[in-house]
């Protein structure tokens, strides 16, 4: 029965709970059993809030029996990335300086998940302050990929992705500035979406007006991701860039999607000029072209926005300084990734930043022109396969050395630079049994369209569970 519960979609579980076919306590126990069995090998969940989760599950069960009005996530076990504050649950930010930190207030996104009925089950591993696309830190160590324990789950929401991929949680919250929802989703064979900035409130955050880091869902299906996204989004007075979505429900749109009829889709194998592993490119191209069978018009084109890499680095550098402004006097105490990022940001000059913003505007208009001809852009989510967990980051692609340690995620961070929504969904498997994801990008506020296309991709290319 444990696997029966933990391998159902979040949509199915929520329906069973609402219909009294299964209780929230039973669902919690099933997930706790999987955690006890699987987490010691993977190190995805680093703080388990089983006592508070049980109390919440018992309250959720009582609400069902009373016939109360239930939220969309009622009774579902959800895990939260360890950089997102959770009241009464340890939040370390993956940093030794905060290893015993327990917030007194939930982040706004956590408050919303609770309001929708979610059971907060624990916190998931992340690199220090989410600075890195592999998941390890000096507090909890490394998180491993469930498809091959010797490999990385990517990052920085690697713990969240692994927890969902293995049935330790129905859903997981992540954050994304460079690739931190999308790449872990791809590496672990699940779905994740980076929403349009402003849709998910960022409070509390040192940079309140920042459009870079956003909260988003990680899930096993596109419809599950839409279900969670609906609970996270909406206007908040605590966020100065907060906006309400121009649609009533992403989940309703995705549930209705039966095909991608009449959509104009462009497949671009490399938007950032860094190259892509030939096997990955072949899998992603075949996946994109297969959408013709579901009614879409699909063209393979060239669309190079590599000139955005410099502007992103300048913006990211200043972002790192702003995020860590309160901690700058302890900069040398931080790990190598975080410390290096902040120091790089301190060197960015006003003229460099101004030039970067001019280029950023030019690129945004280039995308606006692109979306006059196409509804969606599809590209490989990662240019490389899952790499050894001991590696901080890939250093070359197809034998070509990369210029910067973040270059391998350029295909993701260039979408962040444009403030566009993008989602990752499995496209197939490599010959050695590893999942490969595509990135689907649309215009701002087109999350329902992106998730609907992701749903069709999953129907055409199911990959199953990790071994």
The residues annotated as belonging to the active site are 81, 156, 180
Is residue 84 a contact partner of residue 91, using CB atoms and an 8 Å limit?
yes
- Enumerate residues 6+ apart whose C-beta is below 8 A from 2: 30, 33, 34
**Can you give the length of the chain in residues?**
467
Longest distance between any two alpha carbons in the chain, whole Å: 63
d(CA 68, CA 160): 30
**Angle, CA of 222, 393 and 43, to the nearest 5°:** 60
The alpha-carbon radius of gyration of the chain (Å, integer) is 21
In 3D space, the residue among 114, 62, 71 whose CA is nearest the CA of residue 89 turns out to be 114
The helices-and-strands tally (H runs, E runs) of the chain is 15, 15
SS (H, E, C) 270-327: CCCCCCCCHHHHHHHHHHHHHHHHHCCEEEECCCCCHHHHHHHHHHHHHHHHHHCHHH
- 3-state secondary structure at position 97: helix
Read off φ and ψ for residue 175, nearest 5 degrees: -125, 155
Cβ atoms of 122 and 90 closer than 8 Å: no
């Amino acid at each position: 029965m444990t696997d029966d519960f933990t391998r159902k979609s979040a949509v199915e579980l929520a329906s069973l709970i609402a219909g009294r076919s299964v209780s929230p306590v039973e669902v919690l126990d099933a997930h706790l059993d999987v955690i006890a069995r699987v987490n010691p090998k993977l190190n995805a969940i680093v703080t388990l809030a089983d006592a508070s989760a049980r109390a919440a599950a018992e309250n959720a069960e009582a609400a069902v029996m009373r016939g109360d009005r239930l939220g969309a996530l009622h009774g579902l076990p959800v895990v939260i990335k360890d950089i997102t504050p959770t009241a009464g649950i340890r939040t370390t930010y993956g940093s030794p300086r905060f290893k015993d930190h327990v917030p007194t207030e939930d982040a706004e996104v956590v408050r919303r998940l609770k309001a929708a009925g979610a059971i907060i089950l624990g916190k998931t591993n992340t690199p220090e302050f989410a600075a890195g696309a592999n998941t390890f830190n000096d507090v909890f160590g490394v998180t491993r990929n469930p498809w091959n324990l010797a490999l990385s789950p990517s990052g920085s929401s690697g713990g969240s992705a692994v927890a969902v991929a293995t049935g330790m949680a129905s859903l997981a919250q992540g954050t994304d500035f460079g690739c931190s929802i999308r790449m872990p989703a791809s590496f672990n064979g699940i779905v994740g979406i980076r929403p349009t900035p402003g849709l998910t409130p960022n409070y509390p955050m040192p940079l309140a007006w920042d459009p870079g880091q956003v909260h988003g869902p990680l899930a096993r299906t596109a419809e599950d991701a839409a279900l969670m996204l609906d609970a996270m989004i909406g206007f908040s007075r605590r966020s100065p860039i907060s906006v309400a979505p121009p649609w009533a429900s992403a989940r309703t749109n995705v549930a209705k999607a039966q095909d991608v009829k009449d959509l104009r889709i462009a497949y671009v194998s490399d938007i950032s000029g860094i190259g892509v592993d030939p096997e990955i490119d072949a899998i992603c191209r075949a996946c994109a072209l297969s959408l013709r069978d579901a009614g879409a018009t699909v063209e393979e084109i060239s669309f190079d926005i590599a000139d955005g890499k410099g502007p992103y680095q300048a913006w990211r550098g200043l972002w790192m300084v702003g995020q860590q402004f309160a901690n700058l006097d302890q900069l040398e105490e931080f790990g190598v990734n975080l410390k290096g990022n902040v120091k790089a940001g301190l060197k960015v000059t006003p003229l460099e930043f101004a030039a970067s913003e001019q280029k950023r505007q030019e690129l945004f208009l280039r995308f606006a022109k692109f979306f006059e001809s196409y509804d969606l852009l599809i590209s490989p989510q990662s240019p490389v396969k899952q790499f050894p967990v001991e590696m901080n980051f890939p250093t070359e692609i197809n034998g070509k050395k990369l210029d910067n340690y973040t270059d391998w995620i350029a295909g993701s961070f260039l979408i962040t630079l444009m403030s566009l929504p993008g989602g990752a969904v499995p496209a197939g498997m490599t010959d050695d049994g590893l999942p490969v994801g595509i990135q689907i990008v649309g215009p701002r506020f087109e999350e329902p369209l992106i998730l609907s296309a992701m749903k069709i991709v999953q129907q055409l290319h199911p990959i199953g569970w990790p071994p």
